[in-house]
Amino acid sequence: MRKWYVGMLGLVLTLGIIFPSYSYAAGVQTMSDKEIDNRYEVIDGDDLVKNEPRTGNDLTREELFDKYNLNSNVDVPKGTEVIKFDNVKNADKFFNKIEEDVKNPTVEKKTDDKFHDLGYTRQVRSVSFGFSDINLHADIYWNSGKTITSCKAWTTHTGTTFSLGWDQKYAYCSPSSGSRSTMVKGGGTGKWVVFVEGIGTVYSKDINIHYGYTVP
């Protein structure tokens, strides 16, 4: 009887090592810190938001997932870059910053016109998007009469990377015929894989950026 008990105990311990643990009460998969660290490329989310103000809310994990419409039933490929939070308070700061950046975008100019050739300029504007920057570029050309003849736009991102990438939805210029001015517009979706107290989720958010340019 003792040999059977020891054998079963060894089997249980082995299975616990091979497979991630589960929270049956919540009905979702819960992974330990060691499991997450061994499977993914981990960014310390608690350190990432250490200088961010608190939201003033004391949420449970379930309330946090409801607030940001997060789905806990996700399959994250091994080796994915993830952001890990040990507590709900810091995760709330992370999601709240992204939401605020989308609601109140601040456009920052990244170029200095005086360094550009006559008849051409490359303009760049950026907006903060969580802990990344979305950059909207435009190559603008004009003729001797300062009428814009060509304009090409595209987006890039810098800073903390998106776990599942930055998906550009659109980027274009819209100069009026015979005009020396144009609007430059772009936007897309960022996707992060986030673990909160051992539960993984994919969080996605759209952001748009635009600016105007007039040939000097």
In a structure prediction context, what are the per-residue pLDDT tens digits for the chain, which is 216 residues long?
Answer: 544 444 444 444 333 333 343 343 345 678 999 999 999 999 999 999 999 998 888 899 999 999 999 988 778 889 999 999 999 999 999 999 999 999 998 899 887 665 566 799 999 999 999 888 999 999 999 999 999 999 999 999 988 777 778 999 999 999 988 899 999 999 999 999 999 999 999 999 999 999 999 998
Return the pLDDT at 26: 46
Residue 156 placed within a domain: yes
The strand pair at 181-196 and 81-85 is best described as parallel
Candidates 127, 128, 125; CA nearest to 136 is 125
Return the pLDDT at 112: 63
Q: CA-CA distance, 96 to 55, in Å (whole number)? A: 7
SS3 145: coil
SS3 41: strand
Contact assessment for residue 81 and residue 190, using Cβ atoms and an 8 Å cutoff: no
Tell me the one-letter amino acid at 177.
S
Residue 22 placed within a domain: no
Half-sphere exposure of 116 (CA within 13 A, CB side): 17
Contact assessment for residue 157 and residue 186, using Cβ atoms and an 8 Å cutoff: no
Sheet of 120-129: strand order equals 107-109, 120-129, 132-142, 148-159
What's the structural domain count of the chain? Answer: 1
Return the pLDDT at 178: 87
Contact assessment for residue 203 and residue 95, using Cβ atoms and an 8 Å cutoff: yes
Residue 2 placed within a domain: no
Return the pLDDT at 106: 87
Residue 15 placed within a domain: no
Consecutive H or E run containing 162: none
Residue 142 placed within a domain: yes
Residue 24 placed within a domain: no
Burial class (CB in 10 A: 0-12, 13-18, 19+), 91: buried
Range of the domain at 186: 32-216
Return the pLDDT at 89: 96
Burial class (CB in 10 A: 0-12, 13-18, 19+), 5: exposed
Consecutive H or E run containing 66: helix 61-67
Return the pLDDT at 113: 62
Contact assessment for residue 60 and residue 89, using Cβ atoms and an 8 Å cutoff: no
The strand pair at 41-44 and 81-85 is best described as parallel
Residue 75 placed within a domain: yes
Beta bridge mates, 170: 187
Residue 199 placed within a domain: yes
